[in-house]
């Protein structure tokens, strides 16, 4: 098995919890894979909201994003979830969305 990390930027507000609407493809599994980590990073000021992670259009994880004002003395928000409670089937696609219209980087690492 080998580790592989991909990332994408979610930036369009999407309140849907069913995988429809504006979603960004983060990674496509080449084989049945376990998810080693999911991380998010904001480099802009954020309002309280949620990042949603989907596997083949089904919600797998919600990550809260706190309100945070980025400045010269205040960094963006970052968090990582290690060994989240889901896997990805062969050829499965992980997508992400954000509840608020703010640039959020989403990183996913798979063990394939």
Domain containing residue 19: CATH number: 2.60.120
Please report where in the chains the tokens 């592989």 appear, as a residue: 4
pTM recorded for the entire structure: 0.94
Instruction: Locate 76 and state its tokens.
Output: 């963006």
The total number of structural domains in the chain stands at 1
pLDDT above 90 as % of the chain: 90
- 31 pLDDT band, cuts 50/70/90, is confident
Q: For 76-107, write each residue's pLDDT tens digit.
A: 999 999 999 898 999 999 999 999 999 999 99
- Quote the domain boundaries for residue 107: 3-111
Question: C-alpha 30: how far from its chain's center?
Answer: 19
């Amino acid at each position: 098995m080998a580790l592989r990390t991909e990332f994408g930027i979610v930036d369009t507000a999407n309140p849907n919890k069913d995988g429809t609407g504006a979603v960004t493809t983060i990674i496509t599994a080449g084989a049945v894979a376990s998810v080693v980590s999911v991380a998010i990073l904001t480099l802009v000021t954020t309002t309280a909201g949620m990042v949603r992670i989907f596997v083949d259009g089904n919600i797998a994880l919600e990550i809260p994003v706190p309100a945070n004002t980025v400045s010269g003395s205040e960094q963006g928000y970052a968090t990582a979830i290690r060994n989240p409670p889901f896997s990805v089937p062969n050829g499965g696609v992980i997508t992400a969305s954000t509840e608020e219209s703010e640039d959020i980087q989403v990183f996913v690492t798979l063990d394939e």
